[in-house]
Amino acid sequence: MSSTTLYGGASGRRVTVRDLAAAKQRGERWPMVTAYDAMTARVFDQAGIPVLLVGDSAAMVVYGYDSTLPVTVDDLLPLTAAVVRGSSRALVVADLPFGSYQSSPAQALESAARFMKEAGAHAVKLEGGRRVVPQVEALVSAGVPVMAHLGLTPQSVNVLGGYRVQGRGQAGDELMADAKDLQRAGAFSIVLECVPADLAERVTTSLAIPTIGIGAGPGTDAQVLVWQDMMGLTPSPARFVKRYADLGADLDRAARTFATEVIDGTFPAPEHAYT
């Protein structure tokens, strides 16, 4: 890149996985946020966010489900394409949804190829440790950059027994081993969700690839949040979420004001009409 600063740095091109690796070597932290449409993608892209994730969290924040499990490849493809069209600099990562990669490396490659070919994604993300190493290897060997995901993996919420902190005690050693296996398989980064901060920091220092924390403390190389959570649209966000705005209250106030003005006849005013 033309700048040594990944966040907000001028480049005239898309951020690449090599840029993320270089930021890790410099000890430079960076932000990632979710995006699901062209307009918000454009805002985040212009704000300098270097990586946009079209998460399977769209199941809840876009489609209204109560978990990530129901969303499909066909649901996420148009959202991913919109984010790609709405951005010009950010690396766009598409989540592979539940059931689209678990059965075999061939299935994973078929799903990933659709996101790359039909939506223009620049990388994909999948959940799991050593059990998905064959999928990661197949994708990377086929030219698909892979972001891995360890800790609380929402697609496995029923096996994990709910949305709980992962990696305590002996499970921390297993997570560390998973992380190293995923790195060897070719993953370019790893999301660490809802794991103890000290474990996340140890994993981060032991890997050559960047880690991205969500509920994993400050010791990771990057941080990610669902944009609706951080902007105040989610009624009861998780403990690890910091609200940076209160768009929910703003939207409520605007909707009520619009309704009142329509009812009392003050909208539209003369300046909003054609002669």
Query: Which residue matches tokens 């050693």?
Result: 173
Cis peptide before 268 (omega within 30 of 0): yes
CA atoms within 13 A on the CB side of 200: 28
Residue 218 is given by DSSP the state T
Closest C-alpha among 74, 30, 70 to residue 53: 30
User: How far, in Å, CA of 56 to CA of 63, rounded?
Assistant: 10
Helix (H, G, I), strand (E, B) or coil at 122: coil
Q: Are 28 and 215 in contact (CB under 8 A)?
A: no
Q: Which residues belong to the active site?
A: 193
